[in-house]
Amino acid sequence: MDYQWYPGHMTKARRMMQENIALIDLLIELTDARAPQSGRNPDIDSLANGKSRIIVLNKADLADSEATDQWRSHFENEGILTAAVDSRKGSGVRQLKPLIDKACQEKIERNRRRGIVNRPVRAMIAGIPNVGKSTFINSFAGKAVAKTGDKPGVTKGKQWIRLNKNVELLDTPGILWPKFDDQIIGMRLAILGSIRDEITDEGELAVWLIRYLMKEYPAALEERYGFELDPANEVYDTGDAAAMPGEDGGRALDILEKIAVRRGCLKAGGQADLAKASKLLIDDYRSGRLGRITLEKP
Ligand code: GDP
């Protein structure tokens, strides 16, 4: 699904979130393990003020596991429980239930002390488009969930999925809007495919990605495209990997050209087709064919 964020959409999404958040005790926030900070909504802390929190690093199968561990420590230092999962395969999803119990323990205890015994703790899932919310809910809450929305004639209201005797989950996830005033955040989100429509210059994305890979994961490029980079060539040291392509953008273009030649992305006259190579590189990244690569470190 493609999303474009106009102020009207944003206002609507925000209103929905506020409405739903008022009903819940626990917010389970999904973010992409490959860019856990950029993929979050900066307003989430104020929106979720006073609620129990869990951050799920989804698509962990595509992320660098060492970086994922670092991100988990980072969020846990802020007092937020975390899990790393692959919702598509379902791995890691089982750790969520005990984690939810842990996050809600206080609430359950408080209810019990007040003599409230049949009031389950209520939770919701939220995240930016394409982060994997539906996939996660299906994998987490089971197949029955997918069916509820499809039945004709079912009255539209809040549907809750009973996870166990203590916990219920809102069956529709909250949609958060990404914020990419910062160009680098925009780059990361566009490379992940989260904001496809807003940044469409694939050449620019490819150059940024190459610069980042040169710095952080050079072997991934070498292995995938079968050429050797020259580590002695200091021009390859792009300095701050998070920076935008600057004067050495030309270097990255050379590499892109090499990729084009290696992969037979050629124009009619035999010249390298850089646009095609850019698409190929980004596609290789998104599908995990370049390896498990995280676009930002804590
Ligand atoms: P939503 O917009 O947040 O509901 O996202 P979807 O659940 O529709 O997922 C978006 C895309 O990401 C789909 O192509 C999913 O198959 C894929 N996806 C979701 N979770 C994972 C995951 O953990 N690993 C991988 N590799 N792909 C995933």
**Got the DSSP string for 69-92?**
HHHHHHHHHTT-EEEE-BTTTTBT
Q: Are 5 and 194 in contact (CB under 8 A)?
A: no
State the sign of the Cα–Cα–Cα–Cα dihedral 19, 16, 46, 124. Answer: positive
CATH architecture of 201-287: Orthogonal Bundle (1.10)
User: Atom 17 in ligand 1: which residue has the minimum CA distance?
Assistant: 132
pLDDT at 101: 87
Q: Pick the most confident of 60-69, 98-107, 166-175, 251-260.
A: 60-69
User: Atom 20 in ligand 1: which residue has the minimum CA distance?
Assistant: 132
**Per residue in 54-64, pLDDT tens?**
999 999 999 99
Per-residue pLDDT band at 177 (split at 50, 70, 90): confident
Count how many residues are written for the chain: 298
Please determine, for residue 153, whether its predicted confidence score (pLDDT) is greater than 50.
no
User: Atom 26 in ligand 1: which residue has the minimum CA distance?
Assistant: 59
CATH number of 8-171: 3.40.50.300
CA nearest 221: which of 259, 277, 278, 275?
259
CA distance 196 to 162: 35
All structural domains of the chain with their residue ranges: 8-171, 201-287
d(CA 251, ligand 1 centre) in Å: 33
Distance of CA 37 to the CA centre of its chain: 9
Do the domains 201-287 and 8-171 match in fold? no
User: Atom 12 in ligand 1: which residue has the minimum CA distance?
Assistant: 132
CA nearest 21: which of 109, 125, 94?
125
CA distance 244 to 212: 10
d(CA 87, ligand 1 centre) in Å: 7
Pocket of ligand 1, beta carbon within 6 A: 58-59, 61-62, 86-88, 127, 129-135
Looking at the chain, list the stretches that DSSP marks H as alpha helix, in order from N- to C-terminal side.
7-21, 44-47, 65-77, 96-113, 133-141, 144-148, 183-192, 202-216, 218-225, 249-262, 274-287
**Closest ligand 1 atom, residue 60 Cα:** 23
User: Atom 24 in ligand 1: which residue has the minimum CA distance?
Assistant: 59
Average pLDDT over residues 217-237: 75
Please determine, for residue 234, whether its predicted confidence score (pLDDT) is greater than 70.
no
* Higher pLDDT, residue 231 or 240: 231
